[in-house]
Amino acid sequence: GLSELRARRDELSGRIRAEEAERGRLQARMAALARRLADTSESLAGLRAARAQIDRTIAETEAACGQVRAGSGGRAETPLQGNILLRRGHRSPATPGHRGI
């Protein structure tokens, strides 16, 4: 009868308190994760901006090198190529008296 209903009510009250506590813990975790997500998003934006700046610098440098090569008749050499030519006894293509390879 009545005592069984009261026992059932007490059992449900205990389960409700436990679920409310779990809900509170989950809400706190969600708030912490939301802060971490915002921080990570901000960090990613900065990293992507830095990478984009480097990409622009690379593109500008490559374009400038292409203009230098085009202005030299396509004979521009890298420092490594120049060192190899000198070791082989060849003069730089820009040097008068160049023998070619």
Q: How confident is the model at residue 7 (pLDDT cuts 50, 70, 90)?
A: very high
Instruction: Please say if the pLDDT value at position 82 is more than 60.
Output: no
Structure-block tokens of residue 88: 């082989």
Distance CA 77, CA 100 (A): 13
Domain residue ranges of the chain, discontinuous segments joined by +: 1-72
pLDDT at 99: 45
Instruction: Please say if the pLDDT value at position 21 is more than 50.
Output: yes
At 27-65, the pLDDT tens digits run 999 999 999 999 999 999 999 999 999 999 999 999 999
Instruction: Please say if the pLDDT value at position 8 is more than 80.
Output: yes
Q: How confident is the model at residue 69 (pLDDT cuts 50, 70, 90)?
A: confident
Mean pLDDT of the chain: 83
Query: Is residue 47 a contact partner of residue 53, using CB atoms and an 8 Å limit?
Result: no
In angstroms, how far is the first alpha carbon of the chain from the final one?
108
Show Cβ contacts of residue 100 under 8 Å, excluding neighbours closer than 6 positions. 90, 93
